[in-house]
Amino acid sequence: MRVLVPYRVDEPKTRLAPVLDDEERREFSRLMLTDVLGAIREAGYTPTVLSTASLPDSTVPIPVEGYIVDDRPLTAAVNAHLEPETAVVMADLALATPAAISELLSVDDGVGLAPGRGGGTNAIVTHHPRFQVDYHGASYRDHVTICEQIGADARTIDSFCLSADIDEPDDLTEVLLHGTGAAADWLTERFELCASNGRVGVERL
C-alpha cells in the first residue's frame, strides 16, 4: 500500500493570509505535514511525500518511504502516481489521528473516501485499477460518480478528524480545540480561542 501525501511547497495555505504571514504559513504548513506523516506512521504505514518542488532534508523529521517531486496541478500529479493499491491523504489534516488513518486504510476493496467539509475529499484509498482522482470543485460527489462509472464500490469514511482540512482562519479553531500535534502546539503559542457573536474563533495572544 502506497500512501501519498501531496504537499505544495510554494505559497502554501494562501487562504490563511488574513491571520498568518508568509513565513508563518510555511512553518504551519510544514508542521501540519509532519503531523499527518506521523499519524500515518503510527497507523503502521510509511508515507510517500508527493511535493510540488524538492524539499530540504530538514523539512520533516518523520521517516518516509520516499519523496516524489511533481510540479503539475494536484489532480494530474496524484493520478500520475496512483498505483492500484494507493491511499492519498491531504497534508493539511492537522487533526488526523492514527485511528482515523487506520479506519481509512482498513478499506480493503473498491474505494474509500473521507469527505472534507465543503465538498472536498480529504483522504482516499483505492484498490481499483481504473480509479482516478478529480480534486476540482465538489470532488467528493465527483469521486462517488467516478466509482459508479468504473463499477467500484465506494465506502465513505465517517471521520470528523479527516473532514477538517485547515484552509481558512475559522479552521484554526478546530486545531486549537482538538489538535494534539506539532501544528497545534505551534498555534497554541500564538493564538487563543475567543468568542464573538456566540461563535468560537481565534485571536492572537
**Contact positions vs its own copies (CB under 8 A):** 97, 99-100, 114-115, 117-119, 137-138, 140-141, 158-164, 170, 173-174, 177-178, 193, 195, 199-200
Q: Judge contact between 84 and 2, C-beta under 8 A.
A: no
CA distance 97 to 194: 25
- Phi and psi angles of residue 185, each rounded to the nearest 5 degrees, phi first: -60, -45
- Is 76 or 177 the residue whose CB approaches its own copies more closely? 177
- Is 48 or 103 the residue whose CB approaches its own copies more closely? 103
Q: Which residues pair with 121 in a beta bridge?
A: 115
Gyration radius of the chain's alpha carbons: 16
DSSP class of residue 205 equals: -
Q: Which amino acid is at 76?
A: A
- Is 73 or 129 the residue whose CB approaches its own copies more closely? 73
- Is 33 or 171 the residue whose CB approaches its own copies more closely? 171
- Minimum CB distance to its own copies, residue 84 (Å): 27
- Minimum CB distance to its own copies, residue 162 (Å): 7
- Is 55 or 144 the residue whose CB approaches its own copies more closely? 144
- Minimum CB distance to its own copies, residue 42 (Å): 15
- What is the b/e burial string over 94-110, where b = at least 16 CB atoms within 10 angstroms of the residue's CB? bbbbeebbebbbebeeb
- Is 65 or 167 the residue whose CB approaches its own copies more closely? 167
The three three-digit cell numbers of residue 118, written as one number: 465543503
- Minimum CB distance to its own copies, residue 59 (Å): 27
CA distance 152 to 147: 5
The count of other CB atoms within 10 Å of the CB of residue 173 is 18
What value, to the nearest 5°, has the Cα angle with vertex 129 and ends 80 and 63? 55
